[in-house]
Amino acid sequence: MDNIIKKTTDINSGLNLEFVNSFDQLDKYADSWNLLALNAQRQHPVMSHAWITAYLKTMVKKNESWFCLFAFDNKELIGVFPLLYCEYSFLFNNYLILYTPDYPHTNWIDFLFNEKYGKRVMQLFAEYLNAIRPKVLRLKMSQIPYDSPAIEVLQRGIKGISFSCYQYQHVSIIPVNGSFIDYRRRLPKKMVSNLRRSENLLKKFGGYKVTIENGKDVMKNLESFATIEASGWKGHNQTSIKDKYWNFFSEFTINMSKKGWLKWYFLEVANKRIAAYMTIFFGRSAFILKTAYHEEYKSVSPGSVLTLKMIEHIFSSGNLDEINFFTDYDWLLRWNVERKPYYNLVISFNNPGSFFFTRLPIIVYSRSPFIRGLKSSIARLR
């Protein structure tokens, strides 16, 4: 990128924007960035400095580069937008393709802003991205949260960009309201019976216990979790933490533990950990990032027993609104979850390449009955 403006001021709005592409610069804003994420309308840990830097340090591919845009009102940080990019050549012209991190364990990357400044911040980001060289062909944002305030801002219109929004999949959540006893009563009777059976089978191993670990012994707990996970199909397919994601999770768990956001749930029999959850407590939600159980004990369903105990603990905390499982696996349905949609966004910019390869398809699709119906659905969700 040969024409990046490192710092700019928007005279009309009075806001400042800074371009950052080094970890020293990112760390300079770590505290204010994390605070912005915690105070956002949609509190989501993936948008924190702690999470994004773990991804950028360990998961960026050789053909990719990254930068981050920071918006300020005087010295107050009011907006953050991390982006990856690669160059694309067509008819002797170079273009940039921008996208947000979209890889296992890091998605749901949205525009992060103080809602008081929402449209002004997004307008500033749009004007900046329209001005850089090479020109931007498109920006793709994958798996936007179901309650993203950015979608509402985009629907009101941002000058210089056009967008298409379509539903991708769902996320499973459990609202934390009422008591745990009420929640348990709503579970299917057959499932409750199976849970009792599993607990009785676990007692044959001398009983079981559930332990909850926080910021201490981070690497020991990560090693325990990774060992449990590698005992099953992920280990056989070489897609486990140990095989493929160790660098990311080493950085990630240290960052999350430092902020006090990470909790580990372990189920033990005979002093052996056989099931585990990696859970992020952020704002008023508990985010279930990963789960694992030891293949040797599959027949006694230790993961199910631990799930119930974890849900009970979260209900008893008294200060959370929801449990978010990040995904919509069918096995979650038996836990009486609610499914909420999330979306993909494709954004085009003011240049000929972006018009023909991104905006024109958006115009065509936006006029189809299916897309109009989807927009109505999104409007009803807001």
Domain extent, residue 287, equals 177-320
* CATH number reported for the structural domain that contains residue 284 in this entry: 3.40.630.30
**Phi and psi at residue 216, to the nearest 5°:** -85, 155
Which of the pair, 205 or 284, is modelled with greater confidence? 284
pLDDT given at position 196: 93
Give CA–CA dist 35/208, Å, rounded: 39
The predicted structure's pLDDT at residue 287: 96
What length is written for the chain? 382
pLDDT range class, residue 366, cuts 50, 70, 90? low
Distance of CA 12 to the CA centre of its chain: 33
Residue 34 pLDDT > 90: yes
Higher-scoring residue by pLDDT: 367, 356: 356
Rg (Cα) of the chain, in Å, rounded? 23
Residues 17 and 153 in one domain: yes
139 and 19 in a common domain = yes
Q: How many CB atoms lie within 10 A of CB 237?
A: 10
Q: Please determine, for residue 281, whether its predicted confidence score (pLDDT) is greater than 60.
A: yes
| Same-domain check for residues 157 and 15 | yes
Do 203 and 274 reside in the same domain of the chain? yes
Amino acid residing at 138: R
C-alpha 4 chain-centroid distance: 28
Of 239-243, 325-329, 377-381, the poorest mean pLDDT is in 377-381
- Give the per-residue pLDDT at 379: 47
Q: What is the pLDDT of residue 374?
A: 53
The CB-side HSE value for 113 (13 A sphere, CA atoms) comes to 25
Give per-residue pLDDT as tens, 72-105: 999 999 999 999 999 888 777 888 999 998 877 7
pLDDT of 322 higher than 60: yes
Over residues 294-301, mean pLDDT? 90
Residue 130's Cβ-count burial label (10 Å; 0-12, 13-18, 19+) is: middle
pLDDT at 167 over 90: no
> What is the three-class DSSP state of 257?
helix
Residue 249 falls within a domain, yes or no? Answer: yes
Q: 19-29 burial, b for 16+ CB within 10 Å, e for fewer?
A: bbeeeeebeeb
Q: Residues 162, 198: one domain? A: no
Q: Are residues 104 and 26 in the same domain?
A: yes
**Looking at the predicted structure, is the pLDDT value of residue 380 above 60?**
no
Mean pLDDT of the chain: 89
Tokens of 70: 């920071």
Identify whether residues 83 and 205 lie together within a single domain: no
CB crowding 254-268: b at 16 or more within 10 Å, else e: bbbbebebbbbbbbb
Instruction: Give the ranges where the chain is alpha helix by DSSP (H).
Output: 23-28, 30-39, 49-58, 118-131, 149-156, 180-185, 189-203, 218-230, 233-236, 246-258, 302-317, 352-354, 360-366, 369-381
* Structural domain count, the chain: 2
The mean per-residue pLDDT over the stretch 169-190 comes to 93
Q: Are residues 68 and 85 located together in one domain of the fold?
A: yes
**What is the spatial distance between Cα 312 and Cα 310, in angstroms, rounded to a whole number?**
5
State whether 213 and 90 are in the same domain: no
